[in-house]
Amino acid sequence: MIMKQIFTARIAALAWKNIWRNKVRSGVILCAIAIGLFSGTFMMAFMSGWIHDTVTGDIETQFSHVQIHDKHFIANNDINACFMRDDIEAKIKLSGLPAITAFRLTLSGMLASPHNAIGVTAKGVWTDEEKQVTTVWEHISDTLGAYLPEDTRLGIVISKKIAEKLKVRLNQKIVFTFQDTQGDMQNIAFRVCGIYKTTNGMFDEANVFMRYEDLFEYTGLPAGAVHEAGILFPDLETCQTTAPQLKNMFPDMEARDWRELNPALAMMEAFADMWGFIMLVIFMLALSFGIINTMLMAVLERTRELGMLGAIGMGKGKIFQMIMLETVFLTFLGSIIGIILGIGVLLPLMKTGIDLSIFIEDQFEDWGFSSFVNPVLTAKMLVETIVLVVLAGLLSALYPARKALKLKPLDAIRQDN
């Protein structure tokens, strides 16, 4: 047993030396593997971060983790399809769920200035609780007002896109028009107190915010009536385990989590890891052909040497093992360099993020996707990468090693002579 271990160690040492016999060729393939692994790791982290930032942004600005509505409200946004805030709030508190809730009026109407008019969804909110559930207020720069300050009567927060369409600025008045519960038209003049800009242009184009009390008195709704409850949990994992319980608490209401509110985004989130994994597999397949070609050339160039090794008593199994080890060493070394390079580049980018708007302006945001990406690198990604590297190295070594086994010692010696 000891002799076998010593012999195996000598074969490993010989395989390691053989890698560096042609430093240029080995260096080229090492660089190719390192760049391939760096690219694959970077793309996995980039894709995961992009989808994660888009999902998080939409949850924080518009969907929350769960929304509750009256079932009739979902069908046609009927202003009369409301529910009592106190009823929902009391049940959530009694349940002991780790949830923060913000209640809103949600009215469809027209927003008009002297220059233009557009259709919008107006949210009548309680400012303090809304700030705990959504982050729209964080997207208002210091020079563009504030989120519904108390000292502004009939204040309204609009997006930068809406401000541009209506050609209005901070502190100017705009008129919101909607139908109350009796079908009568209500026209309310609001003063622009804040202008926000999120990473979701589609959301920005359609949503404005007022204080609940400013909007409620014109609706004709009963006291305490709301159209929407936005519920936020500590994280997505808590939402996944707790949302079904919340739905069971309100069988007569329409309680939907963010996946149901935006199925397309949910599908992207579900496939984010798979997309990154598939891209890494493609990179590794491409590299495998390069590794096979390099090792096959090395075997064919060493025909006489391999024949001599066979002639002096090295069995085919040992030759096979040596070629396999050469390929695995080469692949593993290049992969380690690539992964270290990837981590070195990704760690600072995970803190600073990547601003894609420098290259594509707001094109992604116009379609509802974040243009600012914080790459996400997890231990799972690194494990998947290492497993793929090992598999690629072993599979790439099979053909060159089998080619070496087919060499007959005496024929190999004569062929070189």
Arithmetic mean of pLDDT, 113-131: 95
Tell me if 230 sits within 8 A of 108, measured CB to CB: no
In a domain, 195, yes or no: yes
Same domain, 302 and 154: no
Same domain, 71 and 21: no
Surface-to-core class of residue 12, CB atoms within 10 Å of its CB (0-12 exposed, 13-18 middle, 19+ buried): middle
Question: What tokens were used for 296?
Answer: 């096959």
Arithmetic mean of pLDDT, 181-195: 95
Report residue 171: phi and psi, to 5°: 75, 0
Residue 175 sits at the vertex; the CA angle it makes with 173 and 177, to the nearest 5 degrees, is: 165
Instruction: Quote the percentage of the chain above a pLDDT of 70.
Output: 86
Tell me if 123 sits within 8 A of 209, measured CB to CB: yes
In a domain, 255, yes or no: no
Arithmetic mean of pLDDT, 60-65: 88
Q: Give the pLDDT band (50/70/90) at residue 171.
A: very high
Q: Give the pLDDT band (50/70/90) at residue 398.
A: confident
Same domain, 410 and 312: yes
DSSP SS3 for 7 = helix
Same domain, 133 and 214: yes
Q: Give the pLDDT band (50/70/90) at residue 367.
A: low
Residue 347 amino acid letter: L
Same domain, 169 and 296: no
State which of 232, 251, 281 marks the end of a domain: 232
Same domain, 278 and 385: yes
In a domain, 258, yes or no: no
Residue 144 is part of which domain span? Answer: 67-232
In a domain, 102, yes or no: yes
Give the per-residue pLDDT at 358. 66
Please give the full DSSP string across 145-206, using - where no structure is assigned: B-SS-TTSTTEEEEEHHHHHHHT--TT-EEEEEEE-TTS-EEEEEEEEEEEE--S-HHHHTT
- The residues, ordered by sequence, that sit 6+ positions from 176 with a Cβ below 8 Å of its Cβ are 109, 110, 111, 112, 120, 122, 156, 187, 188, 190, 208, 210
Arithmetic mean of pLDDT, 139-165: 93
- Residue 258's nearest CA partner among 101, 55, 51, 82 is 55
Arithmetic mean of pLDDT, 76-92: 91
Has residue 268 got a pLDDT over 70?
yes
Tell me if 291 sits within 8 A of 396, measured CB to CB: yes
Model confidence pLDDT, tens digit, residues 4-57: 555 467 777 777 787 777 788 778 878 888 887 888 788 888 888 888 888 888
Same domain, 226 and 191: yes
Same domain, 323 and 207: no
Q: pTM score > 0.85 for this model?
A: no
Taking CA atoms, 1 is separated from 4, 7, 126, 145, 208, in Å, by 5, 10, 77, 79, 77
What distance lies between CA 128 and its chain's CA centroid? 29
Tell me if 194 sits within 8 A of 147, measured CB to CB: yes
Has residue 163 got a pLDDT over 80?
yes
In a domain, 121, yes or no: yes
Same domain, 216 and 316: no
The total number of structural domains that make up the chain: 2
Same domain, 198 and 120: yes
Same domain, 210 and 326: no
A 10 A CB-CB count for 383 gives: 10
Question: What tokens were used for 67?
Answer: 């929304």
Instruction: Quote the percentage of the chain above a pLDDT of 90.
Output: 36
In a domain, 240, yes or no: no
In a domain, 189, yes or no: yes
A 10 A CB-CB count for 183 gives: 8
Give the per-residue pLDDT at 3. 44
Arithmetic mean of pLDDT over the chain: 83
**Quick one: CA torsion of 278, 279, 281, 282, rounded to 10 degrees?**
120
Taking CA atoms, 161 is separated from 5, 59, 102, in Å, by 71, 20, 25
Same domain, 52 and 135: no
In a domain, 249, yes or no: no
